[in-house]
Every structure is written in structure tokens, then in C-alpha cells.
Amino acid sequence: MSVAIVTGGASGIGRAIATSLVARGDTVVVTDVNADGAAQVADRLNGLGKGKASATALDVTDADAVSAVYQSVKDDHGRLDLVFNNAGIAIGGLAEELTLDHWNRAIDINLKGVVHGVHAAYPIMLEQGRGHIVNTASLAGLVPMPIGIPYTATKHAVVGLSLGLRAEAAGRGVKVSVVCPSFVDTPLLHNVNPDLPETPMSGDATGDIAKASPRLYTAEKLARDIMRGVARNQALIVAPAHGRLAWRGVRLSPGAAVRVAQLAVNRIRS
């Protein structure tokens, strides 16, 4: 059975990933900046009677804290098999509505949080000669998603980071995958621009998102897709099916994809 770390594990996709891991018998460390939430998830997972879960507070913007947690898990268990660099926040608003605070927070959490996780996990896995790093990006990292371009930019960066690292790691026993889900029904969508200057998209953005994409995937279904993709060592785990269709459309005609995105902007503006 595997030893795994999940960041952003107190809710949403992270919680669903941790649940899937424990359900199959793995040992999971659930981390989150919300320490109480992470502890509640771990307690619930320990009631499943299969794998084991523990919790620790972790702010992924703190590189030293990330390194300390990852090294501690390796020291405690003798190995670190799986890392899910999943923590992230949602940023919404038109470019002219956004401040540098929006940009910096997106970069600090969505991009540098993943960088810190990779920087901490990769040397451990190289030394072991095995391991799998799974970074959470978004369909927004593959398509031209407007009305939140700091989020889009960081998710594109996570895709590039992951695929580049996968190429470097391939001959050294370490696997790397990146998860690119379409809109998933998680607390992320209900808490856009957390503790940041407000825009019309701040707070609960599910209504605005429904105008552009009425289909929301569940975190539990996505976790099953992720587990399947990790087992198959997929480079890109894109879900659900309509997300893969959108990705295919971008590759076939980037210009047309931008025009489709413009229609979404117009619907939200109206």
C-alpha cells in the first residue's frame, strides 16, 4: 500500500482524493491551511476501516513548511510514494477589475504552492528511485478561459511544469501527472477571490459559471478519474468527457476556441 500526501485535503477535490486513497488501503497525510478541516477529514477517513489517515496544517505558500512536512512523512514511514499537489484558490473577474493582489495570490498559491510541493517531493523520490507526483491544474490550463486570467495563467504554468518535469523524471523512476478538470462542484466555486478585493465574480460564482457551462462534475467522480489516470501513468488527466472535447477543439482550432470563450464573456456580461 502507498504512503501519500494530499494538499488542500480539507474539502473538494483534495478530500475526494484522500477518501479514494484510504478506501483502497493507503496511508494518507491530509494537509490544509484549514487545520481543523483537515483533522475532521482524517477522523472521518479513519472510520472507513481500510487505510489510515492523519492530518497536519500546511500553508503551501511557505516553502520551508512544505519541505518539512514532506520530509517528515518520508522519515516517519520510510518512503513517500504519492504526492498530490492539489491546493488552490479561484480568482474571478475581468482583467480591468483585477488588482495585483489577485495576481499575486493566484501565483503564490496555485503556482508556487505546486512548485514548493515538487521541490520538496522530487529529491525524495529520486533518492528512492520511485514515486508519483500528481499536480492539480485545470481545464483552464489547456483552454483560453477568460474572466479570471490569473487563475488561467497559473494553471497553464502548472501544466507546463508537470509535462517538463515528466520528461526529466521518466528515466529515473519518478512519474508525473497533471490533472485538468473542467468545472467541478467544490467550495472553490463558492469562494471566489477569498480575502481579496471584490469583483462582480467574488463570492459564490456558480450562477455565473452556469451561464457559460451548465454542467458541474462532482469531486467524487473526478477522484475516480484521477485514480484511474494515476494507475495508467497518464501524463494529462482531463475530465469529464466534455472537458476532453473542449481540449480537442482548442488543439484543432485555437482561434475558434478564443471565439467560443468570447461568447461566454458576452453571456456573463449580459
How far, in Å, CA of 160 to CA of 49, rounded?
38
Q: DSSP labels for 38-63?
A: HHHHHHHHHTTSSSEEEEEE--TT-H
Is 122 catalytic? The answer is: no
Question: DSSP letters of 190-208?
Answer: HSBSTTS---TT-B--HHH
Q: Which parts of 98-218 fold into alpha helices (H)?
A: 100-106, 112-128, 149-169, 187-190, 206-212
Whole-angstrom distance, CA of residue 141 vs CA of residue 74 = 30
Which stretch of DSSP H or E encloses residue 255?
helix 254-269
Reading phi first (left if > 0) and then psi (alpha if -120 to 50, else beta), residue 195 is in: left
116 sits in the region (left: phi over 0; alpha: psi -120 to 50; else beta) called alpha
247 sits in which H/E element: helix 241-252
Give yes or no for a contact between 56 and 38, defined as CB atoms under 8 angstroms apart: yes
* Residue 135: φ, ψ to 5°: -105, 135
Instruction: Provide the residue type at 198 as one letter.
Output: E
Which residues belong to the active site? 151
